[in-house]
Amino acid sequence: MDTVLLNNQIEMPIQGIGTKDLFDPDICEQVVLFSFMNGYRLIDTTPSYHNQASIGIVISELSIDRSELFITSRISPFYYKKNRTLRCIEKTLKNLRTDYLDLALLETPIIKGWQNAWQQLEKAVEKGLVKSIGVCNFMTEKSLDELCSIANIKPVVDQIQCHPFLQQRHIQKKLNEKNIQLEAWYPLGHGHSLLLNNSVLMDIATAHHTTVPQIILKWHQQMGHVYITKSSNPDHIQRNLHLDHLCLTPDDMKQIEALDVSRSFYQIPEFVQKLEYSLVH
């Protein structure tokens, strides 16, 4: 598995397992086990998906050495206040049946208290509970600047929605300047048919004798992104990992660049809308 070197000199695999919508414990265990056995080493988890206990069962029974895995968990805004962030990490470690997280991420800067949560993440690093810390959905220069100004430990990753219809080039530029790695969620646009049936991508896929998802994932690689795909389909799980035979031409990359229409496929969940009273602005 190829890796990138983070700004704290820790290596992170470039492709990972997404765990959203894996509600059924048996299916979750099957998908996660199959993915690890087929070569995935990075996994993205969060207590909000209510499946960390199932993932923990797989982790505890894996024949792969823990040091080869890269386990991420996220801190949702529910855990930003007082000592809740540290408690959230401790509970996560118990559920995932591991002694440490490779990466812990704050989920969003738009809820009050993220600065306090960041300080608690730094404590988690000091306590050896977490190796690296980063953020999700820090989408503006202002939020990234504020984060860097309060941080004693530099964030290694910003996990944001990113795919050919929402390329985030402006943020990528800022992240490059700050040496923070872009990690793409919804790398395949959550499987939306508008993206997967796009005629430009289909033509490029035909020219390379492959599929649109493989073209999109190769594009992420050539853009320097880390990305986390989610699939419950064994064929997709395997295909998404095997991209070494592909190389997109400068013309392919240019055509994909032109597909950027700033289109998000994410619907803000109801629970976040209910938190509106505590939004920062």
Closest distance of CB 19 from ligand NAP, Å: 5
Kind of pairing between the strands at 181-185 and 15-17: unpaired
81-140 positions binding ligand NAP, by CB under 6 A: 107, 136-137
Tell which positions 242-281 bind ligand NAP, by CB under 6 A. none
Does 76 help bind ligand NAP (rule: CB under 6 A)?
no
* Of positions 15, 229, 243, 246, contacts ligand NAP by CB under 6 A: 229
Task: Tell me: does residue 185 bind ligand NAP (CB under 6 A).
Answer: yes
| Residue 44 binds to ligand NAP (criterion: CB under 6 A) | yes
Question: Please, which residue, 129 or 162, has the CB nearer to ligand NAP?
Answer: 162
Binding part of the chain for ligand NAP, among 3-11, 113-121, 126-134, 230-238 by CB under 6 A, reads 230-238
Using CB positions, name the residue nearest to ligand NAP.
18
Closest distance to ligand NAP from the beta carbon of 250 (Å): 25
